[in-house]
Amino acid sequence: MNFTNFGRYLLLLKSVFKRPEKTSIYVKAIFQQMNFIGVGSLGLISIISTFIGAVMTLQIAFQLVSDFIPKTIIGQVNRDSSILELSPTISAIVLAGKIGSAISSEIGTMRVSEQIDALDIMGINAPGYLILPKIIAGITMVPVLVIISMVLSITGGYLGGTLSGAVAPAEYIQGITTDFNTYTINVALTKAFVFGFIITSVPAYEGFYVKGGALEVAQASTRAVVVSCISILACDYLVTQLML
């Protein structure tokens, strides 16, 4: 995103946060988007998180070969990695692909088929009507998905570790309950909030300014996912630097 695009992105956000024409219609749209972003992504996030947790446990166990390091460390490392980095970031990147491309192509198709012009002609603030419910749903549902992802990742670690014999159940449980710093949850939720905003607003921007036809909508969709992923990683670094 160059500076011109960033300026246009900020101007679009200014239009998005204008007073809604009718709150009840926006509230309905927000719940629809929460259903799409939250409930619709639950299965994917669950599968990915469980497997990542399981794989993480096996890899940590593989690397900890020294007899001087207690096996409880495996659970501890898996817990902190999942909460601080894997659950928020991997979930966000997966959601950027799934939700970001859907948002970008939905709004882009509306642009090229004159549906956004129709909203403008009716006197409706199109950025607000189309984008605000998505952003609100994103910043509320992505943190919820990240919390679920944390739980499943740690559970996946338990299953992977105990089924393979890499770690005993009691050792893993002791590991995940030892020296737990609740501040890490705050860091993870802050990341999830920021990522939720990026995942919805960046693809919406890409879709909103599409010009042309089907090819351009597809290109905007690809660009939306790429820019979202890069923004997520940059903001991940920034939030980590600021909060830890």
Partner 1 sequence: MIEIKNIHKSFGENEVLKGISGKFEAGVTNLIIGGSGSGKTTLLKCMIGLHHPEQGEVFYDDREFTQLSFDERIEIRKEIGMLFQGSALFDSMTVEENIMFPLNMFTDQSRKEKLERVNFCLERVNLEGRNKLFPAELSGGMKKRVGIARAIAMNPKYLFCDEPNSGLDPKTSIVIDELIKELTEEYQTTTIVVTHDMNSVMGIGDYIIFLHEGKKFWEGSNKEISKTDIAELNDFVFASRFMKAAKEKF
Kindly state the smallest distance separating residue 43's Cβ from partner 1, in Å: 22
Kindly state the smallest distance separating residue 53's Cβ from partner 1, in Å: 37
**Residue span 106-135 as binding mask against partner 1, x where in contact by CB under 8 A, dash where not:** ---xx--xxx-xx-xxxxxx----------
Q: Is 69 in the site for partner 1 (CB under 8 A)?
A: no
Q: Is 13 in the site for partner 1 (CB under 8 A)?
A: no
Q: Is 43 in the site for partner 1 (CB under 8 A)?
A: no
Kindly state the smallest distance separating residue 92's Cβ from partner 1, in Å: 26
Q: Is 25 in the site for partner 1 (CB under 8 A)?
A: yes
Q: Is 214 in the site for partner 1 (CB under 8 A)?
A: no
CA distances to 9, 31, 106, 212, 241 from 115, rounded to whole Å, are 21, 22, 11, 14, 42
Kindly state the smallest distance separating residue 14's Cβ from partner 1, in Å: 11
Kindly state the smallest distance separating residue 73's Cβ from partner 1, in Å: 51
Q: Which residues contact 71 (CB under 8 A, 6 or more apart)?
A: 61, 64, 167, 168, 171, 172, 175
What is the length of the chain?
Answer: 244
Q: Which residues contact 96 (CB under 8 A, 6 or more apart)?
A: 198, 199, 203, 225, 228, 229, 232
Gyration radius (Cα) of the chain, Å: 21
Indicate which single residue of 6, 11, 14, 22 sits in contact with partner 1 (rule: CB under 8 A). Answer: 22
- The rounded distance, in Å, linking the Cα atoms of 88 and 90 is 6
Binding residues vs partner 1 (CB under 8 A): 21-22, 25, 109-110, 113-115, 117-118, 120-125
